[in-house]
């Protein structure tokens, strides 16, 4: 039977080139919806993941054959990371990725490497340092793990892979922005501060993607959004963009054949870990010119995710009581279709 989260707190989306899979998690369940090429949901949402327990931070990737959804499950004493393979024909069994972390776990992410393997990472706080674990899930179902410590407290991070080498963009509890590189086995290679500590409350919400030439990193500050290029070796390039003001938050990057799209929520007010406002888009052209457009009216936004299929981009955003799905023309930034999926 279909299960819907009582309150959507995070949303994620991935594409197989023909359709999208949107997942969203709340207080007591994890749900998914297939989204057709026209940007509209095909059928009702359906429950995935554990039957009970607090779930958060859903992530989804497509490995060329099937989708993998991963999430955090919050227990009384620890937080586990679970996963489940999905196809249009159904869902496989729930998997334990072997990342059982202490109650102080603060961040988790999932990414696909260049070899089609799934990579997961989770970090927990230990006063002024962080303990992290990585998991490599191969296509044959085998798992490999690595553990390492970071000499700074992790608040949030985003994970991306280029080939079999990974990069993590980290926001510390002091709101510094740090990058760290991972070896092919998931172990730590090196780390360096990208932007030092700033004023209290000047959050970063890091986002990073691999685009074939290295990595593109984005985060927000009170004076606007930042986008920078980082090479495979960790060399930091020129700052590509500072846009807007402090009302821009939670950037999500999506490269296309013609431009780089940067989605974010634009806040009119803040409400803890969410923003009360609307989703907007910035398009960064190859010549550096930027344009923006208001795309999706929204309530309290607590998660953004974007994915490209064919000539359309799909943006999903989660708010307090619904999942919003917007299909976008990536060249014109024109809204093609908007669906608000209410939750029960």
pLDDT tens digits for 219-264?
A: 887 777 888 888 888 888 877 766 666 566 678 888 887 778 888 7
Strand order in the sheet with 322-329: 303-309, 312-318, 322-329, 334-342
CA distances for 194 relative to 14, 126, 158, 197, 228, angstroms: 29, 22, 14, 10, 10
- The 10 Å CB-count burial string (b at 16+, else e) for 295-333 is bbebbbbbbbbbbbbeebbbbbbbbbbbbbbbbbebeeb
State the Rg of the chain over Cα. 18
CA distances for 193 relative to 171, 201, 234, 260, angstroms: 10, 19, 11, 24
- pLDDT (mean) for 330-335: 74
Residue 139: which residues within 8 A CB-CB, separation 6 or more?
63, 65, 116, 117
pLDDT at 20: 93
Which band of pLDDT confidence, cut at 50, 70 and 90, is reported for residue 126?
Answer: confident
Q: How many CB atoms lie within 10 A of CB 270?
A: 15
* Interval 153-167: pLDDT, tens: 898 899 999 988 999
Tell me the CB-side half-sphere exposure of residue 318, using CA atoms within 13 A: 29
Largest CA distance in the chain: 51
Whether pLDDT at 53 is above 50: yes
Which tokens belong to 135?
């998991």
pLDDT at 274: 45
For residues 4 and 22, is the Cβ–Cβ distance under 8 A?
A: no
pLDDT at 70: 92
The model's pTM is 0.87
State the Cα–Cα distance between residues 295 and 326, nearest whole angstrom.
Answer: 8
∠ CA 110-53-169, rounded to 5°: 25
């Amino acid at each position: 039977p279909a299960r819907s989260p009582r309150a959507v707190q995070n949303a994620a989306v991935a594409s197989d080139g023909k359709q999208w899979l949107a997942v969203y998690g709340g207080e007591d369940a994890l749900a998914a919806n297939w989204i057709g090429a026209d940007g509209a949901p095909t059928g009702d949402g359906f429950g995935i993941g554990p039957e009970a327990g607090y779930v958060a931070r859903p992530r989804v990737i497509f490995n060329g054959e099937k989708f993998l959804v991963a999430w955090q499950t919050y227990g009384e004493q620890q937080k586990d990371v679970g996963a489940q393979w999905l196809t249009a024909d159904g869902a496989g069994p729930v998997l334990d990725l072997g990342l059982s972390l202490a109650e102080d776990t603060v961040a988790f992410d999932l990414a696909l490497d260049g070899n089609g393997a799934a990579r997961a990472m989770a970090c927990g706080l230990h006063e002024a340092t962080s303990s992290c674990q990585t998991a490599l899930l191969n296509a044959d179902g085998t798992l490999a793990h690595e553990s390492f410590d970071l000499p700074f407290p992790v608040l949030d991070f985003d994970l991306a892979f280029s080939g079999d080498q990974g990069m993590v963009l980290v926001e510390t509890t002091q709101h510094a922005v740090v990058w760290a590189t991972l070896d092919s086995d998931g172990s730590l290679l090196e780390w360096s501060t990208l932007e030092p500590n700033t004023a209290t409350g000047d959050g970063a919400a890091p986002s990073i993607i691999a685009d074939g030439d290295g990595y593109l990193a984005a985060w927000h500050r009170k004076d606007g959004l930042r986008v920078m290029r980082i090479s495979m070796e960790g060399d930091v390039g020129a700052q590509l963009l500072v846009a807007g003001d402090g009302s821009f938050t939670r950037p999500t990057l999506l490269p296309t054949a013609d431009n780089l799209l940067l989605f974010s929520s634009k806040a009119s007010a803040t409400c803890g870990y969410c923003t009360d406002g609307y989703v907007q888009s910035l398009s960064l052209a190859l010549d550096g010119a930027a344009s923006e457009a208001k795309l999706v009216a929204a309530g309290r936004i607590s998660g953004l995710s974007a994915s490209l299929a064919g000539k359309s981009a799909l943006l999903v955003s989660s708010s307090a009581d619904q999942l919003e799905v917007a299909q976008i023309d990536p060249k014109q930034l024109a809204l093609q279709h908007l669906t608000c999926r209410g939750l029960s």
